[in-house]
């Protein structure tokens, strides 16, 4: 579906407020976007429902037959793996009512406030305009500033009539209506068609058949030339089929067929021959022929191949390009659901950027962080679910330098976690690298952090990390609705370290603190025998570094090893070598798979790393009720002697 409203060159219409009540999975939503809105968040949080709600009000082509599932259902909370309710999700997913008997809500409403309207549209809705206040709402006060910009409210109302068992919908102006008495000032279809609103829904690209986007654009661009081009095709096909029918190879075969048992004499009023038989494409029309045409592309040395043979990305790019071509309405509100799902990362960001820059206001729902990258931090609307209830989060307007610095970390740190319920914020990239490697090495019997909806995030952007940077990104994450787990070192007790920890605790839902005087390098080596550390330490020489444990392995040389790992950023190669040393030798390598084969040996991990990962997984659950600060215990080394 693609609805194109009136063209305009003098401005850009804008949705200043979206108010939802009991529509689909939304009990209530009061969303006031910035310039544009990219809607993202955790699964089942209502992305598709937000776009559908806007379309129900603004796009007359989107007002399809309503269903009972459009009415919000208050399903009793049931705890799932994330401690959330399993109530209905986007669109028709989740627990939806099967009959009217299960309904608990009888009315749903979606109200949209529009500003910056074209003067011609304002004339059509004269009598329903209201002053727009600074918050993006229509002002109903008699003392409203007469010089304030004008706006209009449009409401989609869906009601289930229990007496007639009928669902009815209406789009009306709240100003001048009284739903309680059944008085509605209805919005005409002409007004809704005059609104510059585009709903993008890409289909199969490069279709010349009736209903195809390319065919539609060809006809809209120059209808006379389109008719002439298809007439040329009709004439050429007719002539080609006539030539084929008259070819001796065909006529001789047909005459032989008609001669069998005098078939040609019995079929008609007179004897028929091959000259009386022709061939048609299905019903003989050009339309039937066009339905069979499929695009073929020459993209490389392989020559022309059918579109489907070039892969899904090519199809998705062309499909979206077609939709955008038809939707080229300056200053329009553009609606698109699940934008970028089939696109590669670069193309998704590029097309999202084009829509944002060319439209009056873009409303894109997406699962892809690359799409959100095309928008400003304040334009990201993140949807979440808390205890089964949906909520939305937006970053506040930047009011000081500290917030400005923090907002820069949205694109670099938090966007990859856009659809994750929780983030674990560490002191820097070294921590993420080490914990990420340990997390990837988990055997199938242990669940990785992704199974708990957790994404590892580093505070700062590199050398500027550290415990002082954790509150900045933690505050940013909480403003966007993430559950935040902080993972910090435990420095030597002091007034300064106590103040730093206090700031981290105020910014995070839960804080995990490593043992005293333990940074991530010590976390790798804690609880690991000196012999294993010495064997793994030899890998440092391959990176041009001296092996601190080459002569002797003691606590003093382990400290030097940790300093080398930190100073030279060699955490990953050392940890990889350590994993190889920790794994036990196969008990009986000659035993083949099958009867008598022993079970696979479990992967052995540095014990403190396991403790950190387990603590993150536990604290990330919304049902966690333990202490807000988890102090991990020190892990003693299996042996203290020299290797």
Mean pLDDT estimate for the chain: 82
> Which of 474, 465, 338, 455 is CA-nearest to residue 406?
474
Angle at 369 (CA atoms; ends 420, 39), nearest 5 degrees = 80
Residue 302 binned pLDDT confidence (cut-offs 50, 70, 90): low
Maximum average pLDDT range among 62-71, 142-151, 544-553 = 544-553
Residues 6 or more apart in contact with residue 642 via CB below 8 angstroms: 530, 552, 553, 554
- Tokens read off for 612: 């950190």
3-state per-residue secondary structure call for 559-607: HHHHHHHHHHCCHHHHHHHHHHHHCCCCCCCCCCCCCCCCCCCCCCCCH
- If one compares 64 and 340, the residue with the highest pLDDT of the two is 340
Higher pLDDT, 611 or 8: 611
Least confident of 52-61, 251-260, 594-603: 594-603
What is the percentage of the chain residues whose pLDDT exceeds 70? 80
Q: Enumerate residues 6+ apart whose C-beta is below 8 A from 605.
A: 438, 441, 442, 579, 582
Is the pLDDT reported for residue 1 higher than 80?
no
- pLDDT band at residue 161, thresholds of 50, 70 and 90? confident
pLDDT for res 97 = 52
Strand partners for 220: none
What is residue 555's predicted lDDT score, i.e. its pLDDT?
92
Rounded mean pLDDT, 425-453: 91
Predicted local confidence at residue 285, as pLDDT: 67
Q: Which of 3-12, 277-286, 319-328, 516-525 has the lowest mean pLDDT?
A: 3-12
448-463 pLDDT, tens digit each = 999 999 999 998 765 6
pLDDT digits (tens, 9 = 90+) for 355-371: 888 888 999 999 999 99
The predicted pLDDT at position 491 comes to 75
- Which of 99 and 259 is assigned the larger pLDDT? 259
Angle of helix 470-479 versus helix 401-409 axis, rounded to 10: 80
Instruction: Give CA–CA dist 575/533, Å, rounded.
Output: 10
Strand 107-115 versus strand 26-31 pairing type = unpaired
Q: Is residue 54's pLDDT more than 90? A: yes
- In 3-state terms, what secondary structure has residue 23? strand
- Comparing 244 with 309, the larger pLDDT belongs to 244
In this structure, is the dihedral angle defined by the CA atoms of residues 253, 254, 255 and 258, taken in order, positive or negative? Answer: positive
Structure tokens at 480: 């966007």
**At CA 89, angle to CA 84 and CA 94, rounded to 5?**
90
Residue-level pLDDT at 204: 66
What share of residues in the chain are helix, strand, coil (percent, to 5)?
40, 20, 40
Kindly provide the b/e burial profile for residues 533-553, where b requires at least 16 CB atoms within 10 angstroms of the residue's own CB: bbbbbebbeeeebebbbeeeb
pLDDT of residue 7: 37
Q: What are phi and psi of 490, to 5 degrees?
A: -110, 95
Q: Which pLDDT band, with edges at 50, 70 and 90, does 166 fall under?
A: confident
So what's the pLDDT on residue 228? 85
Q: Cα separation of 367 and 444, whole Å?
A: 27
List Cβ neighbours of 275 (8 Å cut-off, separation of 6 or more): 251
Average pLDDT (171-199) is: 89
H/E run at residue 407: helix 401-409
Main-chain phi, psi angles of 161, to 5 degrees? -90, 110
Binned at pLDDT 50, 70 and 90, residue 512 comes out as: very high
287-296, 458-467, 526-535, 585-594: segment of lowest average pLDDT: 585-594
What is the predicted pLDDT for the residue at 432? 94
Tallying the residues shown for the chain, one arrives at: 643
**Count of CB atoms within 10 A of residue 133's CB?**
17
CATH architecture of structural domain 14-204+344-377: 3-Layer(aba) Sandwich (3.40)
Q: Distance (Å, rounded) from C-alpha 407 to C-alpha 427?
A: 17
pLDDT greater than 80 at residue 68: yes
Average pLDDT value for residue range 142-160: 86
**59: helix, coil or strand?**
coil
Residues of the chain with CATH 3.40.50: 14-204+344-377
List alpha helices for 441-554, DSSP H. Answer: 470-479, 495-507, 520-525, 530-537
Half-sphere exposure in the Cβ direction for 491 (13 Å, CA): 12
Dihedral, CA of residue 472, residue 473, residue 475 and residue 479, to nearest 10: 140
Per-residue confidence (pLDDT) for residue 88, from 0 to 100: 42
Both tokens of residue 478? 């909480």
H or E stretch including 467? none
Residue 80: pLDDT band (50, 70, 90) is very low
Partnered with residue 159 across adjacent β-strands are 107, 168
The reported pLDDT for the residue numbered 315 is: 66
Give the C-alpha separation, 362 to 39, whole Å: 10
Q: Which of 87-101, 161-175, 196-210, 418-432 has the highest mean pLDDT?
A: 418-432
Provide the pLDDT confidence category of residue 529 given band limits of 50, 70 and 90: very high
Evaluate if residue 5 carries a pLDDT over 50. Answer: no
How many C-beta neighbours within 10 Å does residue 474 have?
27
Comparing 91-100, 257-266, 563-572, the range with the smallest average pLDDT is 91-100
Check residue 514 and give left, alpha or beta (phi > 0: left; psi -120 to 50: alpha): beta
Nearest C-alpha neighbor of 527 from the set 412, 635, 377, 383: 635
The mean pLDDT value for 609-619 works out to 96
pLDDT digits (tens, 9 = 90+) for 229-258: 888 888 887 888 888 888 889 888 888 888
Q: Higher pLDDT residue, 602 or 344?
A: 344
Least confident of 179-188, 350-359, 583-592: 583-592
- In the chain, what percentage of residues exceed pLDDT 90? 41
Contacts of 345-348 with CB under 8 Å at 24 or more apart are: 345/370, 346/370, 347/313, 347/317
Task: Report how many helices (DSSP H) and strands (DSSP E) the chain contains, helices first.
Answer: 20, 20
For residues 581-600, give the mean pLDDT.
62
Strand order in the sheet with 454-458: 454-458, 422-426, 483-490, 510-516, 629-631
CA dist list (Å): 51 to 48, 365, 421, 598: 5, 7, 21, 54
Please determine, for residue 524, whether its predicted confidence score (pLDDT) is greater than 90.
yes
Looking at 26-30, 87-91, 601-605, which range is the least confident one?
87-91
Mean per-residue pLDDT, 609-624: 94
């Amino acid at each position: 579906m693609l609805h194109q409203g009136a063209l305009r060159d003098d401005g850009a219409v804008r949705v200043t407020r979206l108010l939802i009540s009991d529509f689909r999975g939304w009990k209530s939503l009061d969303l006031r976007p910035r310039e544009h809105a990219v809607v993202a968040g955790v699964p089942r949080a209502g992305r598709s429902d937000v776009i559908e709600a806007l379309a129900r009000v603004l796009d007359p082509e989107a007002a399809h037959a309503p269903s009972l599932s459009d009415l919000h259902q208050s399903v009793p909370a049931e705890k799932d793996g994330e401690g959330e309710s399993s109530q209905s999700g986007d669109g028709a997913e989740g627990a939806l009512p099967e009959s009217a008997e299960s309904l608990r809500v009888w009315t749903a409403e979606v109200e949209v406030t529009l500003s910056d309207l074209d003067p011609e549209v304002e004339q059509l809705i004269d009598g329903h305009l209201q002053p727009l206040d600074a918050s993006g709402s229509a002002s109903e006060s008699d003392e409203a500033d007469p010089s304030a910009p004008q706006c209009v409210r449009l409401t989609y109302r869906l009601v289930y009539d229990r007496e007639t068992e009928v669902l009815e919908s209406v789009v009306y102006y709240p100003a001048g209506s009284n739903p309680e008495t059944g008085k509605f000032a209805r919005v005409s279809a002409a007004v809704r068609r005059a609104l510059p609103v585009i709903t993008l829904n890409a289909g199969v690209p490069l279709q010349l058949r009736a209903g195809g986007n390319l065919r539609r654009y060809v006809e809209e661009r120059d209808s006379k030339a389109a008719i002439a081009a298809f007439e040329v095709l009709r004439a050429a096909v007719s002539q080609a089929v006539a030539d084929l029918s008259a070819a001796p190879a065909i006529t001789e075969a047909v005459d032989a067929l008609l001669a069998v048992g005098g078939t040609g004499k019995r079929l008609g009023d007179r004897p028929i021959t091959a000259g009386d038989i022709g061939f048609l494409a299905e019903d003989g029309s050009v339309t039937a022929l066009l339905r069979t045409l499929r695009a073929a592309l020459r993209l490389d040395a392989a020559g022309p191949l059918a579109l489907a043979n070039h892969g899904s990305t090519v199809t998705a790019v062309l499909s979206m390009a077609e939709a955008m071509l038809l939707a080229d309405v300056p200053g329009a509100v553009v609606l698109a659901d699940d934008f970028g799902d089939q696109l590669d990362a670069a193309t998704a960001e590029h097309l999202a950027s084009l829509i944002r820059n060319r439209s009056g206001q873009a409303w894109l729902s997406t699962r892809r962080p690359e799409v959100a990258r095309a928008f400003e931090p304040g334009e990201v609307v993140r949807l979440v679910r808390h205890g089964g209830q949906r909520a939305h989060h937006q970053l506040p307007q930047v009011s000081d330098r500290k917030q400005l610095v923090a907002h820069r970390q949205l694109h670099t740190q938090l966007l990859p976690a856009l659809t994750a319920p929780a983030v674990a914020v560490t002191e820097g990239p070294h921590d993420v690298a080490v914990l990420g490697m340990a997390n990837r090495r988990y055997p199938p019997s242990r669940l990785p952090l992704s199974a708990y909806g957790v994404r590892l995030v580093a505070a700062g952007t590199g050398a500027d990390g550290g415990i002082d940077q954790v509150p900045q990104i933690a505050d940013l994450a909480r403003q966007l609705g993430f559950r935040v787990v902080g993972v910090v070192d435990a420095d030597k007790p002091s007034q300064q370290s106590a103040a730093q920890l206090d700031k981290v605790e105020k910014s995070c839902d839960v804080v995990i603190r490593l043992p005293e005087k333990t940074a991530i390098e010590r976390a790798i080596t804690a609880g690991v025998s000196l012999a294993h550390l010495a064997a793994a330490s030899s890998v440092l020489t391959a990176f041009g570094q001296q092996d601190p444990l080459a002569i002797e392995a003691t606590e003093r040389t382990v400290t030097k090893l940790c300093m080398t790992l930190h100073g030279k950023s060699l955490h990953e190669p050392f940890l990889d070598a350590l994993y190889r040393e920790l794994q036990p030798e196969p008990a009986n390598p000659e035993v083949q798979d099958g009867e008598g084969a022993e079970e696979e040996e479990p992967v052995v991990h540095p014990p403190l790393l396991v403790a950190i990962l387990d603590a993150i997984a536990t604290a990330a659950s919304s049902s966690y009720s333990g202490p807000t600060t988890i102090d991990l215990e020190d892990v003693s080394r299996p042996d203290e002697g020299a290797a």
